[in-house]
Amino acid sequence: MVVFDLWHKTKYKYEHGASFCHNLATLKPKNFKGQELLDYSLEISPLPTEISEHVDFFGNTVATFSIQEHHEELIVISRSKIARDFNAQVSQEDVNTRDNVTVGDALKLLKGVAHDIIDARQFVLFSPLISKTTPEIKKYAEVSFKPKRSLYEAAHELMQRIFIDFDFVSGFTNIATPLDEVMKAKKGVCQDFAQVAIACVRSIGLPARYVSGYIETLPPEGKEKLIGTDASHAWFSVFIPSHGWVDFDPTNNQIPKDQHIVVAHGRDYYDVPPLKGVIYSTGKNDMEISVDLRPAKESGLQQQTQKQ
Amino acid sequence: METKENIIFENYFKDFSKYDELLTSELTIKADWKSLLDNLLKIGNKELASKQSEIDWLLAENGVTYNVYNDPNGLNRPWNLNIIPFIIQQKEWELVEKGIQQRSEILNLVLKDIYGERKLLKNGIIPPEVIYAHRGFLRSCDQIQYKTAKQLSIHAVDLARGPDGRMWVVNDRTQAPSGMGYALENRFSKSRVIPEIFDNINVIQPSNFFKDFNQLLLTAAPDHKDNPTVVVLTPGPHNETYFEHSYLSNFLGYPLVKGNDLVVRNGKVWMKSLKGLKQIDVILRRVDDAFMDPLELREDSYLGVAGLLEVVRLQNVAIVNPIGSGVLENPGLIPFMENICKYFLDEKLILPQIASWWCGQEKERNHVFENLTSFVVKKIDRSQRENIIFCEFLSKKELKQLKKNILSNPNQYVAQEKIYFSTAPNFVNEKLEPRKVLCRTFSIAKGDNYSVMPGGLVRVAAEREKLFVSNQRGGTSKDFWVIGEENQDQLQLYSWNKTSPNNIISINDVPSNTAENLFWSGRYVARTLLTARYVRMVLNQMTNVQYTNRYQSDSEGLNILYQSITTITSTFPGFFDEDKSEEMLKTPLKEIISVIIDEKRIGSFAQSLQSFNGSYYTLRNLWSKDMWRVFDSIDKIWKKFKQEKNYSIYALTKFFDQIITRLIAFMALTEESIMVKQGLLLYFIGLQLEEASMTIEKFRALIVVTHDEDLEYEILESLLSSHESLNIYRYSYKSYLSIENVLKLLLLDNEYSRSLTYQISRLQKDISKLPNNNVNNEDTNCQKNIEKALSLIQNITLEDVLYTDDKSKIRMKLDALLAELSDLFHVTSMAISDTYFNHSQQQKQLVNRNITN
């Protein structure tokens, strides 16, 4: 088990200021077996006039807040303390059933009406950013997803292939870049890889969902880790009937374990942007994000370091 | 009688093949229609034709329109109502009514369930894809529940009579169903134009239904608030049913607002009004689900209110119908309705539905594919308006493509059996003709049940053999009669809001957008009228010169007038153009015509008229019918005038004569139709401000510079005449025109309504009646500036304004006064705008995701 301190700061600067804003923040890490949220706070400056929290359709915690005074910049900082224990999440017994379900079995089982199946079936459907199946996607998926093959293995191989075939290039894509373009260029960032994988799994008729969260990065050997160099991260999750959801990180070619912190689930990025809002302003705005995720030190020390 | 019948039925039996409302299968008239037919025959086909055109005229005159997006004929296509009603007997209707109530209740329970526990999905009653693949299912609305007894408040069902003689359900409309207002106006028009058609027939009136409707809005308020504030939310004048939005707002007595009139603060919804913010409790919305909140729903929407969904979650506002109810407009539900009905109510469906197969299930899809040509295929959501595919008309290639489309996203498609619905008689070219009809019925939540409008709106296919019925694609409508046994009361014409006094009663509560539009309406109508009068005066003087050649100074006098047109309309360089002015002054008509009709020219008459049109149109919920009539006739005169080829002085003058009379009528109607507390005060302020400003421009153009006696006489005459003050002058002074007296009358008189002093003092009074939002009630900037103007003009003497500089021949002090007043008017206008109008900065997304779905 590892206990992490997580710090995520987003700063917006408005060229001519904003008179008013309404925002949604999906920043609070989830609680589930294997991930426990020990402490959480959301600091917003200027102080919001109102703030409330609700659990959304996908079970994520969303904070709604608004600022009603004129402001030049908006700063949102979320701080969390999280205990992560992958061993508690998945047992050996689980692993055996997980590996035995074939793609063909899964397709058959998905016709059922058990509650978890009914719930999972919506993740087979198209979603705002993954709104069609192209022949390229389907072809790419079919290489791994053969009816008699273990679904877990197939998804694992898909993750590997994306890791090998796609280049991590930031700046090439943005939120609105269509999937076909990512597929064609074979480059992008973690979001794109997650969404390509989801599109592939869905093209077979299987449920896949988007996971937003964080990953701990380790400094080069012998160097101290710099503050704020981590980033928001995203990966995908596949539903294996009679087992449950299994996460895959195609950007790092690994099964997310104790270094991955889960914040939210959705059909694709559209459902879980960390921060979105409607502002009333003219002119441009600039955004700055920094994230820091590291094992918790003695209490208090971490805070001090950051303030220096 | 026999012959009359022959004439009116001449073509009715031709190619008669299917089920008809009027005829039995033996081609005899059904007993139900006998009374109506007697009345029709008594009236006679000639008279019917003339009544039909009277109805057409009345609807156009009353401004009953149906906008069609991108219609080449522009906005405001007139609404069509056929003189022959659609009838149904009360006995049959009672069963239909029960069926509608049952269906409303089922959909209400479905709505509650799918945004709540989702038992229907968990228990396998509906495949989850029928809901989850429908764009109308808004995940952001999950778990939002209303405190009202019913979640679904308004439900419209389209019905048509099937081959078995029963009324069948064709569509459900649940987001913001349109048609109630049209149905009501249809009934009003009919009763007015052709009351004799109702003879001996007891048509049940919808009076109680509309009372229930009003009650529904009042009781929807969270926490059963007394005297809740209700508003009607419209997407704006370009929406297809905008007429109805303003009609209902007017009829029910609730303000009509657009998204940007509302704002979310402190977890509540507020309307921006003249005196700050006013809390809103109930929103009757005509904006579609996805556009209601750009924060949580469609990010590119400017029609909604950012943050609204959170207020709904907090139960601080009620939306009628709830956001998210569009998911029920879903033909994918039809195949499961029988089971849903059994599940919730343990009953059978009363109203039959069209046999439908949802393609998301393999077995059903295969059934559809086996005999595709016999089906009608639809999508489960209306992303493309009423996109219905009649497979029988498709080529082999098209059928293949359709199969491919279905397979690529089977959850999206539903196939329906093709049904031949009944036809009903329609009056066309003095004869009856059978046409397909579709009846829209309305049902609203009332306590524990639903109240159904007796009748509704019947829409008629555009052509004899059309299968398809819709207003979006043109077509006509019918009054829908439910005929009872007992005598019926008259339809009540008053607003149904008698029991609870309207909350919006003071000038403080006028929405700031409305206030702004009223202010500009006042300014533009004044500008349009004064420009028209001024140019007409110049044209008259030109005619005088042509025919009388009275004075030596003619050409010089006219030149001053021509140039004054440029000054007053601000259409520089105009007659001051250095290169061309000599030429222009010789043949002035060309430039004058351009100042009149060039819509692209800033300051032109055409442009003022356009702005006048624009600002007034957005206020049409405040209009009386007479206003619409006059507005329409101005529009017609203008359109006709623009098409003329040669503009003689005579033709131009005649045009202005017509326009001026109507503008004055329109202004008088404005003043009597809109109450001061509804915002008319702003209209007066705009009007006076514009009149005063233009008066200044006239003085500047005509009397700041002195002229020799003859010329001055002529100019003074022109000034008085453009000011419509010549008679008053003669009456007051009974003398030769002198500059002293003219200035006394037009500038300094305290009591004459066209004098500048009077106008300014009226402005000062009106402005002081505007809400004062300052702490300690300190004078507003608007007040300060106009008071300064008033004291300036009150403190100047006749000697001062007459003072002429010997060298320059200019009335220096008058000139200085006019310049100062003009500046003060400008800052007053700005101060009004800053203090009272809506200046929220532009709505933007924090992160622009460019996602449109």
Q: Is the dihedral of CA B100, B102, B106, B108 positive or negative?
A: positive
> What phi-psi label fits residue B734: left (phi over 0), alpha (psi between -120 and 50 degrees) or beta?
left
CA A111 to the chain's CA centroid = 28
Is 90 exceeded by the pLDDT of residue B121?
Answer: yes
Q: What's the pLDDT tens digit per position in A235-281? A: 999 999 999 999 999 999 999 999 999 999 999 999 999 999 999 88
Q: What is the mean pLDDT of the segment spanning B224-239?
A: 89
- On the CB side of B129, CA atoms within 13 Å amount to 21
- A276 and A265, same structural domain? no
Cβ distance A18 to B140 less than 8 Å, yes or no, reads no
| Of B43, B123, B116, residue with least CA distance to B83 | B43
B268 touches chain A (CB under 8 A): no
| Of B312, B850, B178, A12, residue with least CA distance to B304 | B312
Predicted pLDDT at B280: 96
- Which residue, chain included where needed, has tokens 């101290």? A224
Taking the CA atoms of chain A, what radius of gyration do you get in angstroms? 20
Tokens at B292, concatenated: 């209601």
Is 60 exceeded by the pLDDT of residue B493?
Answer: no
Across the A:B interface, residue pairs with CB atoms under 8 Å apart total 113
Give the C-alpha distances (Å, rounded to integers) separating A77 from A17, A23, A226, A292: 20, 14, 18, 11
Predicted pLDDT at B851: 55
Predicted pLDDT at B497: 46
Percent of chain B with pLDDT over 90: 61
Cβ distance B851 to A122 less than 8 Å, yes or no, reads no
Neighbours of B451 (CB within 10 A): 21
Strand order from edge to edge, sheet including B356-358 = B356-358, B413-417, B375-379, B388-390
CB nearest A22 (choices: B132, B133, B264): B264
Q: Please tell me the total count of domains within chain A.
A: 2
Q: How far apart are CA B793 and CA A224, in angstroms?
A: 79
Q: What residues in A contact B296, CB-CB < 8 Å?
A: 24
Predicted pLDDT at B460: 85
* B381-385, B585-589, B608-612, B763-767: segment of lowest average pLDDT: B381-385
Contacting residues for B84 by C-beta, under 8 A, at least 6 apart: B40, B424, B425, B426, B427, B432, B478
Contacting residues for B252 by C-beta, under 8 A, at least 6 apart: B213, B214, B217, B230, B232, B495, B496, B497
Tokens at B134, concatenated: 């429908």
Q: Is the dihedral of CA A141, A147, A149, A155 positive or negative?
A: positive
Q: How far apart are CA A133 and CA A119, in angstroms?
A: 22
- A235 and A129, same structural domain? yes
Q: How far apart are CA A8 and CA A274, in angstroms?
A: 10
b/e map of B715-750 (b: 16 or more CB within 10 Å)? bbbbbbbbbebbebbeeeeeeebebebbbbbbbbbe
- A69 and A10, same structural domain? yes
A14 touches chain B (CB under 8 A): no
- A115 and A208, same structural domain? yes
- Which residue, chain included where needed, has tokens 């052709």? B194
CB nearest A54 (choices: B295, B313, B840): B313
Q: Which pLDDT band, with edges at 50, 70 and 90, does B492 fall under?
A: low
Residues B191 and B83: beta-carbon distance below 8 Å: no
Q: How far apart are CA B425 and CA B23, in angstroms?
A: 10
| Shortest CA distance from B260: residue in chain A | A280
Quote the domain boundaries for residue A118: 89-270
Cβ distance A176 to B850 less than 8 Å, yes or no, reads yes
Query: How far A123 CA lies from chain B's nearest CA (Å)?
Result: 9
Cβ distance A66 to B307 less than 8 Å, yes or no, reads yes
In chain B the domains, ranked by start, together with CATH numbers, are 54-332+420-482 (no CATH), 355-417 (3.30.1490.270), 510-836 (no CATH)
- A260 and A283, same structural domain? no
Q: Which pLDDT band, with edges at 50, 70 and 90, does A40 fall under?
A: very high
- Which residue, chain included where needed, has tokens 């075939």? A165
- A260 and A140, same structural domain? yes
A42 touches chain B (CB under 8 A): no
- In this structure, the strands spanning A244-248 and A232-240 are antiparallel
| Of B162, B89, B209, residue with least CA distance to B481 | B89
- A109 and A47, same structural domain? no
Q: What's the pLDDT tens digit per position in B677-690? A: 888 999 999 999 99
Tokens at B23, concatenated: 């005829």
- A213 and A97, same structural domain? yes
Q: How far apart are CA B153 and CA B217, in angstroms?
A: 9
b/e map of B85-107 (b: 16 or more CB within 10 Å)? bbbbbeeebeebbebbbbbbbbb
Cα angle at B646 between B642 and B647, to 5 degrees?
75
CB nearest B295 (choices: A271, A277, A280): A277
DSSP B701-730: HHTSB---HHHHHHHHHHHHHHTT-HHHHH
Q: How far apart are CA B517 and CA B612, in angstroms?
A: 10
* A16-20, A184-188, B18-22, B427-431: segment of lowest average pLDDT: B18-22
Q: What's the pLDDT tens digit per position in B302-345? A: 899 999 999 999 999 999 999 999 999 999 999 999 999 999 99
Neighbours of B479 (CB within 10 A): 26
CB nearest A56 (choices: B142, B263, B847): B142
Residues A181 and A109: beta-carbon distance below 8 Å: no
> What phi-psi label fits residue B707: left (phi over 0), alpha (psi between -120 and 50 degrees) or beta?
beta
> What phi-psi label fits residue B447: left (phi over 0), alpha (psi between -120 and 50 degrees) or beta?
left
- A295 and A234, same structural domain? no
- On the CB side of B664, CA atoms within 13 Å amount to 9
- A148 and A39, same structural domain? no
- In this structure, the strands spanning B268-273 and B262-265 are antiparallel
Q: What residues in B contact A271, CB-CB < 8 Å?
A: 139
Cβ distance B132 to A121 less than 8 Å, yes or no, reads yes
Predicted pLDDT at B250: 83
Q: Which pLDDT band, with edges at 50, 70 and 90, does B17 fall under?
A: low
Beta bridge partners of A289: A10
Is 50 exceeded by the pLDDT of residue A306?
Answer: no
**Number of helices followed by number of strands (H, E) in chain B:** 28, 23
Predicted pLDDT at A143: 97
Contacting residues for B647 by C-beta, under 8 A, at least 6 apart: B589, B593
Q: Which pLDDT band, with edges at 50, 70 and 90, does B852 fall under?
A: very low
Q: What's the pLDDT tens digit per position in B498-536? A: 444 444 467 888 888 889 989 999 999 999 999 999 999
Predicted pLDDT at A153: 97
Which residues in chain A (178-237) have CB-CB distances under 8 A to chain B?
Answer: none
Q: Which pLDDT band, with edges at 50, 70 and 90, does A304 fall under?
A: very low
Q: How far apart are CA B642 and CA B639, in angstroms?
A: 5
Is 60 exceeded by the pLDDT of residue B694?
Answer: yes
Q: What's the pLDDT tens digit per position in B607-644? A: 999 999 888 887 877 888 788 889 889 999 999 999 98
A121 touches chain B (CB under 8 A): yes
DSSP B370-403: HTGGGEEEEESS-SSTT-EEEGGG--HHHHHHHH
Written as one letter, the residue type at B247 is: Y
Tokens at B82, concatenated: 């056929």
Predicted pLDDT at B385: 55
A57 touches chain B (CB under 8 A): yes
Q: For all residues of chain B together, what is the average pLDDT?
A: 88
Q: How far apart are CA B834 and CA B538, in angstroms?
A: 37
* CATH number for the domain harbouring residue A36: 2.60.40.2250
Q: What's the pLDDT tens digit per position in B738-796? A: 999 999 999 999 999 999 999 999 999 999 999 887 878 888 889 999 999 999 999 99
- Which residue, chain included where needed, has tokens 């020799």? B708
Predicted pLDDT at B499: 45
- A193 and A93, same structural domain? yes
- Which residue, chain included where needed, has tokens 């074939």? A102
Q: What's the pLDDT tens digit per position in B282-295? A: 999 999 999 999 99
Burial of B547 (0-12, 13-18, 19+ CB in 10 A): exposed
Tokens at A265, concatenated: 């689930």
Cβ distance B851 to A176 less than 8 Å, yes or no, reads yes
Is 80 exceeded by the pLDDT of residue B9?
Answer: no
CB nearest B844 (choices: A125, A176, A279): A279
Give all strands (DSSP E) within B287-430, no chain letters: 318-320, 356-358, 375-379, 388-390, 413-417, 423-428
Is 80 exceeded by the pLDDT of residue B64?
Answer: no
Predicted pLDDT at A303: 43
CB nearest B851 (choices: A24, A128, A287): A128
Q: What residues in B contact A118, CB-CB < 8 Å?
A: 121-122, 124, 128
Q: What is the mean pLDDT of the segment spanning B566-595?
A: 89
A284 touches chain B (CB under 8 A): no
Is 80 exceeded by the pLDDT of residue B477?
Answer: yes
Query: How far A220 CA lies from chain B's nearest CA (Å)?
Result: 33
Predicted pLDDT at B679: 87
Is 60 exceeded by the pLDDT of residue B430?
Answer: yes
Coil, helix or strand for B772?
coil
Highest mean pLDDT among A284-293, B8-17, B468-477, B792-801: B792-801
Burial of B184 (0-12, 13-18, 19+ CB in 10 A): buried
Q: Which pLDDT band, with edges at 50, 70 and 90, does B552 fall under?
A: very low
Percent of chain B with pLDDT over 70: 91
- On the CB side of A91, CA atoms within 13 Å amount to 3
Is 90 exceeded by the pLDDT of residue A157?
Answer: yes
* CATH number for the domain harbouring residue A111: 3.10.620.30
- Which residue, chain included where needed, has tokens 């919920």? B621
Q: What is the 3-state secondary structure (H, E, C) of B438-449?
A: EEEEEEEEECCE
Written as one letter, the residue type at B416 is: Q
Predicted pLDDT at B817: 96
| Of B191, B184, B227, residue with least CA distance to B209 | B184
Predicted pLDDT at B79: 79
A131 touches chain B (CB under 8 A): yes
- A193 and A76, same structural domain? no
CB nearest B846 (choices: A55, A113, A276): A276
Q: What is the 3-state secondary structure (H, E, C) of chain A?
A: CEEEEEEEEEEEEEEEEEEEEEEEECCCCCCECCEEEEEEEEEEECCCCEEEEEECCCCCEEEEEEECCCEEEEEEEEEEEEEECHHHHCCHHHHHHHHHCEHHHHHHHCCCCCHHHHHHHHHHCCECCECCCCHHHHHHHHCCCCCCCEHHHHHHHHHHHHHHHCEECCCCCCCCCCHHHHHHHCEECHHHHHHHHHHHHHHCCCCEEEEEEEECCCCCCCCCCCCCEECEEEEEEEEECCCEEEEEECCCCECCCCCEEEEEEECCHHHCCCEEEEEEECCCEEEEEEEEEEECCCCCHHHHHHHC
Q: What is the mean pLDDT of the segment spanning B449-455?
A: 97
Predicted pLDDT at B6: 67
